């Protein structure tokens, strides 16, 4: 797959018509006297972000389209991709409704679908889980990428869209901010290894770490250590022994009391009776107090108000109510006498009950005192109570220890799970090491081409290799033989060397994936900066050669001042058809990619 064309509905946007081979995005400083002019803000680097957007990247804060939404909200962008000479696809995506994507399949290239209404797929939702309608899935199937890898095409995309921030490391790009599990298995697959082994290892390690956290948390919450089982069992045995000895003492104590018919049950029975009688006494006294108050406070009956009421009614019903009034007075007198008789009788009954309860209390208290007085030792009863309390404490301790043993089974299950997973992990590590050590023909070919490219461009011997690190994970590395990391960093052209290692790696991969189901293009932003002219010339010549012989579309950005000169101080020849677009800093912004500054 190659990039054929990028255009927009906005006329200010500079249309880009890419060739199948070398494409230079040139930046040119025209207004050299304007100190505020910025040759690095012409759009040549932003173009990578736009291409990434057109390859269906979800935009977030930090993306220029999101950060400058007011400038781009009405823009619609189109990108034409070439799969073969008679097989093209155009992607349409709006900035405002950027989660809707449309596709058009066509057999001829360099088309203009700005006003097209008949799209093969229209407004597909970017984030839908429906694989038949998800635009990334549709593009993946059309591309044929799913026939090579079980990853989406975007997994490797940014190796072939390297920004200025992606040259620090060859393999770990800036987008790989998470753990190694997000990208190392994919790199292993890219090199012809079985990346699922690595993925399984990372997943297993994650599960073990999760179990370890769970085990630690439970041990803290339960105040229990997985290694304390024998201690707990020993404490349990000792407490059972203590309980047995204490129960013997209590039994002996009971036996001493039984000789006088004063066993423990009898003492507890008397205590219970006294407590019950005290409750009865309280209730009777309360009832007595209420009854006495009721006798003192008879039912209120205002004779004057009643008389006045009947007098008023007599006016309305003359001669009829005198008899009823006399009957009411008589009824009130009768009910008051009856109520008082009942209350007086109830009062007498309550006093009799209280007297009876008091007599029983006197009797039971006397019995309790007699029991306590017959004990030989002064503190025998206190000892008896202490034995009881100690026995309760022992029972609680035993219960807690038994609970810990039950919880220990939970901890043991988790620990066994960790051990089993660790055994599986150990075998998997051995399997991975054996698998990697057996090698991969594809990896060997990529290594060979990488080393050859570095040698031809930089004149240095570089190697691509792997190491097993301290965590038994694979580290893929590149190295210039004879230069350690510090030397590479301190070397005057060290950063350009790092860039070129990335460039050579990307090219080596493309060389070894000669199919339109993979990427057939690569975009390197600012890859030539800081290099010596000699190396720049070697770099450009090598890229030209690869474009012709390996069917690679190569895109890179450069300022006009970065174009090298030969040994005669003559400007290195760049062909007109190799310059896709020249961007400049004219004051009216017409020379900028988007026709505006931001």
Give yes or no for residue 255 having a pLDDT over 70. Answer: no
Q: Which pLDDT score is estimated for 303?
A: 56
Q: What single DSSP character describes residue 150?
A: S
First to last CA, the chain: 31
d(CA 98, CA 126): 8
CA 456 to chain centre: 47
Q: Within 10 Å of residue 115's Cβ, how many Cβ atoms?
A: 6
Among 228-232, 445-449, 510-514, where is mean pLDDT lowest? 228-232
More confident residue, 302 or 235: 235
Place of tokens 């869209």: 161
Q: What single DSSP character describes residue 21?
A: S
Work out whether strand 474-480 and strand 462-468 pair parallel, antiparallel, or are unpaired.
antiparallel
d(CA 130, CA 330): 95
d(CA 406, CA 229): 11
The answer to whether 20 touches 576, Cβ cutoff 8 Å, is no
DSSP 390-430: HHHHHHHHHHHHHHHHHHHHHHHHHHHHHHHHHHHHHHHHH
d(CA 592, CA 481): 42
Q: Model-level pTM?
A: 0.72
More confident residue, 362 or 292: 362
| pLDDT band (50, 70, 90) for residue 198 | very high
The answer to whether 518 touches 525, Cβ cutoff 8 Å, is no
d(CA 587, CA 583): 12
The answer to whether 154 touches 56, Cβ cutoff 8 Å, is yes
Residue 37 in tokens: 């002019």
Percent of the chain with pLDDT over 90: 51
**CB half-sphere exposure, 490, CA atoms < 13 A:** 5
Residues contacting residue 154 through CB under 8 Å, at least 6 positions apart: 55, 56, 57, 136
The answer to whether 7 touches 72, Cβ cutoff 8 Å, is no
d(CA 480, CA 589): 43
The answer to whether 559 touches 25, Cβ cutoff 8 Å, is no
Q: Which pLDDT score is estimated for 153?
A: 95
CATH 1.20.58.220 fits 2-193+440-584, yes or no: no
Q: What's the mean pLDDT in 156-170?
A: 93
Among 377-381, 412-416, 439-443, 574-578, where is mean pLDDT lowest? 377-381
Q: Quick one: which of 59, 43, 61 has its CA closest to 6?
A: 43
Percent of the chain with pLDDT over 70: 85
The average confidence (pLDDT) of the chain is 85
pLDDT digits (tens, 9 = 90+) for 498-529: 999 999 999 999 999 999 999 999 999 999 98
Residue 56 in tokens: 């269906």
d(CA 104, CA 123): 11
pLDDT digits (tens, 9 = 90+) for 398-440: 887 787 777 788 888 899 999 999 999 999 999 999 999 998 9
CA angle, 542 as apex, 540 and 547 as ends, to 5°? 95
The answer to whether 2 touches 553, Cβ cutoff 8 Å, is yes
| pLDDT band (50, 70, 90) for residue 530 | confident
3-state DSSP assignment of residue 591 = coil
Ramachandran region of residue 100, left (φ > 0), alpha (ψ -120 to 50) or beta?
A: beta
Q: At what angle do helices 322-374 and 303-316 cross, to 10 degrees?
A: 150
Q: What is the dihedral of CA 489, 174, 166, 55, to 10 degrees?
A: 180
Q: At what angle do helices 229-258 and 380-437 cross, to 10 degrees?
A: 160
Q: What is the dihedral of CA 524, 525, 530, 534, to 10 degrees?
A: 40
Q: Within 10 Å of residue 79's Cβ, how many Cβ atoms?
A: 20
CA 157 to chain centre: 25
Place of tokens 């007011």: 70
pLDDT digits (tens, 9 = 90+) for 38-52: 555 677 789 999 999
Residue 547 in tokens: 């474009």
DSSP 248-309: HHHHHHHHHHHTTT--HHHHHHHHHHHHHHHHHHHHHHHHHHHHHHHHHSPPP--HHHHHHH
CA 445 to chain centre: 39
d(CA 91, CA 33): 41
3-state DSSP assignment of residue 590 = coil
CA angle, 537 as apex, 33 and 462 as ends, to 5°? 120
Domain residue ranges in the chain? 2-193+440-584, 236-398
pLDDT digits (tens, 9 = 90+) for 303-360: 566 566 656 665 554 555 555 656 666 776 777 777 778 778 888 888 888 898 899 8
Residue 105 in tokens: 């399949």
Q: Which pLDDT score is estimated for 490?
A: 46
Across 57-68, b (16+ Cβ under 10 Å) vs e yields bebeeebbbeee
pLDDT digits (tens, 9 = 90+) for 65-106: 999 999 999 999 999 999 999 999 999 999 999 999 999 999
Q: Quick one: which of 547, 509, 503 has its CA closest to 524?
A: 503
């Amino acid at each position: 797959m190659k990039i054929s064309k990028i255009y927009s509905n906005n006329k200010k946007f500079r249309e880009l018509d890419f060739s199948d081979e070398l494409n230079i995005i040139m930046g040119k400083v025209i207004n050299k006297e304007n100190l505020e002019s910025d040759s690095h803000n012409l759009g040549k680097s932003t173009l990578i972000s736009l291409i990434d957007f057109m390859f269906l990247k979800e935009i977030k804060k930090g993306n220029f389209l999101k950060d400058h939404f007011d400038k781009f909200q009405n823009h619609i962008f189109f990108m034409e991709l070439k799969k073969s000479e008679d097989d093209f696809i155009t992607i349409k995506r709006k900035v405002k409704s950027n989660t809707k994507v449309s596709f058009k399949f066509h057999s001829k290239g360099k088309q203009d679908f700005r006003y097209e209404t008949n799209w093969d797929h229209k407004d597909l939702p970017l984030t839908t889980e429906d694989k038949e309608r998800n635009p990334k899935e549709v593009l993946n199937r059309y591309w044929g990428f799913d026939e090579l890898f079980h990853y989406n095409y975007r997994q490797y995309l940014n190796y072939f869209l390297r920004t200025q921030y992606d040259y620090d490391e060859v393999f770990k790009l800036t987008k790989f901010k998470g753990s190694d599990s997000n990208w190392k298995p994919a790199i292993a697959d890219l090199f012809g290894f079985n990346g699922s082994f690595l993925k399984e290892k990372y997943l297993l390690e994650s599960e073990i770490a999760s179990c370890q956290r769970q085990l630690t948390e439970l041990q803290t919450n339960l105040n229990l250590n997985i290694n304390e089982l024998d201690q707990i069992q020993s404490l349990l045995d000792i407490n059972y022994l203590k309980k047995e000895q204490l129960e013997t003492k209590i039994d002996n104590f009971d036996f001493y009391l039984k000789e006088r018919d004063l066993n423990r049950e009898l003492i507890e029975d008397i205590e219970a009776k006294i407590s019950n009688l005290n409750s009865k006494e309280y209730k009777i006294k309360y009832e007595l107090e209420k009854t006495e108050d009721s006798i003192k406070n008879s039912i209120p009956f205002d004779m004057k108000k009643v008389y006045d009421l009947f007098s008023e009614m007599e006016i309305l019903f003359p001669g009829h109510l005198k008899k009823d009034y006399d009957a009411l007075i008589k009824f009130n007198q009768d009910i008051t006498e009856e109520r008082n008789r009942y209350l007086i009788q109830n009062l007498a009954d309550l006093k009799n009950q209280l007297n009876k309860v008091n007599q029983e209390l006197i009797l039971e208290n006397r019995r309790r005192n007699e029991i306590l007085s017959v004990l030989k030792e002064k503190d025998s009863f206190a000892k008896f109570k202490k034995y009881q309390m100690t026995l309760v404490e022992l029972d609680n301790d035993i219960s807690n220890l038994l609970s810990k043993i039950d919880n220990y089974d939970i901890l043991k299950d988790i620990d066994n799970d960790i051990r089993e997973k660790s055994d599986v992990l150990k075998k998997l590590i051995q399997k991975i090491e054996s698998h990697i050590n057996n090698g991969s023909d594809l990896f060997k070919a990529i290594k060979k081409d990488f080393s050859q490219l570095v040698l031809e461009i930089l004149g240095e011997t570089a190697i691509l290799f792997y190491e097993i690190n301290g965590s038994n994970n694979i580290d893929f590395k590149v190295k210039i033989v004879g230069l350690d990391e510090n030397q590479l960093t301190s070397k005057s052209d060290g950063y350009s060397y790092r860039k070129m290692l990335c460039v050579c790696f990307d090219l080596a991969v493309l060389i070894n994936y000669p199919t339109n189901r993979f990427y057939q293009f690569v975009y390197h932003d600012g890859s030539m900066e800081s290099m010596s002219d000699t190396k720049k010339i070697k770099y450009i010549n090598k890229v030209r050669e690869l474009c012709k012989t390996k069917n690679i579309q190569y895109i890179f950005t450069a300022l006009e001042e970065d174009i090298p000169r030969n040994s005669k101080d003559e400007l290195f020849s760049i062909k007109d058809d190799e310059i896709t677009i020249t961007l400049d800093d004219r004051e009216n912004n017409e020379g900028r990619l988007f026709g505006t500054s931001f």
